[in-house]
Amino acid sequence: MCKLPVIDMTQTGQNIARLRQQKGLTVKALQDIFGFATPQAIYKWQHGTAIPTVDNLVVLAAVFGVPLDDILVINSF
């Protein structure tokens, strides 16, 4: 049986936090971009307890000006 790749949520979250800071964006600014009522989703992404949906990943990539591969960390075993 082949091993499937897995998203490393912790490292992906670290990338989101790093890229956000490099762009000079606050969590509040990202919250406003996504139209979220609270910043909880963004904090969960950054702490690796949740992963953005595919459509939100596409928006993050556009906002940060990077390809999806610069956000997602995928481990192959």
Question: Is 17 among the domain residues?
Answer: no
Question: Is 19 among the domain residues?
Answer: no
Residue 40 bridge partners (DSSP)? none
Question: Is 16 among the domain residues?
Answer: no
Question: Is 31 among the domain residues?
Answer: yes
What radius of gyration, in Å, describes the C-alpha atoms of the chain? 13
* Structural domain span for residue 76: 1-6+26-77
Rounded to whole angstroms, what are the CA distances from 27 to 19, 31, 36? 12, 6, 11
Residue in the structure block whose two tokens are 């800071």: 21
Question: Is 11 among the domain residues?
Answer: no
Number of domains in the chain: 1
pLDDT tens over the chain, length 77 residues: 678 899 999 999 999 999 999 999 999 999 999 999 999 999 999 999 999 999 999 999 999 999 999 999 999 86
Question: Is 33 among the domain residues?
Answer: yes
Question: Is 52 among the domain residues?
Answer: yes
